[in-house]
Amino acid sequence: MATRVQHALEQLKTTGVRITPQRHAILNYLMESMGHPTADEIYRALEPQFPSMSVATVYNNLKMFLEAGMVRELTYGDNSSRFDANVTDHYHVICDQCGKIEDFSYPSLKSVELQAASSTGFEVHGHRLEVYGVCKSCRDQ
């Protein structure tokens, strides 16, 4: 995972972005986190390490990572944006009870985009699929 973070930081450096310890920590946290954290969750997790860092710093860095195409913003029903450092094509399954989000892949859904394009004449840029249910932890309680 460290090589993925290093690669991302090198990519940022080439665009003239200074790599601060906070940027490094935010990116590292995002890439290690499988939970698709909110900006507040990232802030709370890193606050002990960076007591002078503000929530605004986290938001500003997330915005920069989004613009650089290194992070995706996920907006779901709970009105809080979540962030995903996995920018490859994949989908999400979301627990109705605890809000946990997990990734899954289903490459054959690419044919949906091709069908949409051929049926409508649109130039299709992508699609989003969300599957809802109850996770194993919530069911076991």
Which CATH number does the domain housing residue 75 bear?
1.10.10.10
Element at 82 (helix H, strand E): strand 81-84
pLDDT of residue 5: 79
Q: What is the pTM of this model?
A: 0.77
- Do 8 and 68 sit in the same domain of this protein? yes
DSSP string spanning 68-84? TTS-EEEE-TTS-EEEE
- Do 39 and 108 sit in the same domain of this protein? no
Q: How many domains does the chain have?
A: 2
- Do 48 and 8 sit in the same domain of this protein? yes
**Beta bridge partner(s), residue 81:** 75
Is 138 labelled as part of a ligand binding site? yes
- Do 75 and 16 sit in the same domain of this protein? yes
Domain boundary among 84, 99, 132: 84
- Do 21 and 79 sit in the same domain of this protein? yes
- Do 13 and 68 sit in the same domain of this protein? yes
DSSP string spanning 84-108? ES--SS-EEEEETTT--EEEE--GG
What CATH number does the domain containing 121 carry? 3.30.1490.190
- Do 118 and 133 sit in the same domain of this protein? yes
**Beta bridge partner(s), residue 130:** 92
Is 24 labelled as part of a ligand binding site? no
Residue 102 is part of which domain span?
A: 91-140
pLDDT of residue 2: 55
Is 95 labelled as part of a ligand binding site? yes
Is 7 labelled as part of a ligand binding site? no
- Do 37 and 80 sit in the same domain of this protein? yes
Q: Which residue has the tokens 């599957």?
A: 131
State the pairing for strand pair 130-133/91-95.
parallel
Tens-digit pLDDT profile for the chain (141 aa)? 457 778 888 888 887 788 889 999 999 999 888 789 999 999 999 999 999 999 999 999 999 999 888 899 988 766 778 999 888 888 899 899 988 888 898 888 889 999 999 999 999 988 888 899 999 999 999
- Do 15 and 46 sit in the same domain of this protein? yes
Domain boundary among 84, 99, 115: 84
Is 127 labelled as part of a ligand binding site? yes
State the pairing for strand pair 81-84/72-75.
antiparallel
